[in-house]
């Protein structure tokens, strides 16, 4: 009985997060994205799963014709490999699946290929590595970098004369920085 009282109980952790990102597959470089997330962390802190909501924006001008891009979507991250604990530096390797709607809007002179707007579904697989600091006050700082493979590749273009505004790359890049607030979690 006394041994059970001294051993802290391990339980699932829940982390809330917010981040900013630059990448090259959500619109013309540099596409900027802002995200909010909820993460479920295993009791051993050996793996985690994260659900993320994302809003992104970008703009592009070609020969004095401009278009603004906006993205609404989300991604699910599964991070099966993690090194570090609740009170130390933490490195995580993650697989991500992104899905969302990219929309381009131009003014009357822009001659977007379909009226003054186009929209397309984006589906992207990504692999990323994440590093978190030990807790600072009540939060952790997080930096992440990764590669993405757009599964549904899209092209946005002007007509008359034809000019490509954005085309999904064969391989995408991402860089994120953010804050994570552990609501409750296992101790080391």
Give the pLDDT confidence score for residue 58 in this predicted structure: 92
Residue 58: strand pairing partners: 69
Query: How far is Cα 26 from Cα 166, in angstroms, rounded to an integer?
Result: 9
Which pLDDT value is given to residue 179?
96
A 10 A CB-CB count for 152 gives 11
Q: What's the DSSP call for residue 175? A: E
Q: Across residues 158-182, what is the average pLDDT? A: 86
Q: Which of 27-36, 56-65, 105-114, 152-161 has the lowest mean pLDDT?
A: 105-114
Q: Chain-centre distance of CA 140, in angstroms?
A: 17
How confident is the model at residue 186, as a pLDDT?
Answer: 41
Q: What is the pLDDT of residue 82?
A: 87
Q: What is the mean pLDDT of residues 83-90?
A: 84
Report pLDDT digits (tens) over 34-43: 999 999 988 7
Are the beta carbons of 53 and 100 closer than 8 angstroms?
A: no
Query: How large is the average pLDDT for residues 43-63?
Result: 88
Specify the pLDDT at position 5. Answer: 45
Q: pLDDT (tens digit, 9 = 90+) per residue, 153-169?
A: 888 877 766 777 788 89
- How much is the pTM? 0.82
Domains within the chain, CATH numbers bracketed: 11-182 (2.40.160.20)
More confident residue, 116 or 32: 32
Q: What pLDDT is recorded for position 93?
A: 95
């Amino acid at each position: 009985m006394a041994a059970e009282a001294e051993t802290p109980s391990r339980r699932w952790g829940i982390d809330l997060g917010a981040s900013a990102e630059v990448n090259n597959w959500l619109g013309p470089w540099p596409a900027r994205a802002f995200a909010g997330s909820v993460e479920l962390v295993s009791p051993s802190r050996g793996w985690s799963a994260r659900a993320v909501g994302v809003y992104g924006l970008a703009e592009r001008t070609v020969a004095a014709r401009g278009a603004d891009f906006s993205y609404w979507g989300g991604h699910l991250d599964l991070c099966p490999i993690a090194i570090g604990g609740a009170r130390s530096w933490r490195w995580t390797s993650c697989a991500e699946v992104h899905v969302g709607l990219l929309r381009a809007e131009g003014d009357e002179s822009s001659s977007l290929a379909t009226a003054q707007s186009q929209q397309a579904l984006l589906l992207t697989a990504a692999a990323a590595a994440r590093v978190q600091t030990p807790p600072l006050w009540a939060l952790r700082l997080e930096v992440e970098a990764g590669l993405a493979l757009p599964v549904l590749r899209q092209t946005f273009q002007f007509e008359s004369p034809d000019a490509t505004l954005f085309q999904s790359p064969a391989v995408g890049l991402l860089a994120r920085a953010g804050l994570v607030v552990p609501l409750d979690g296992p101790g080391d």
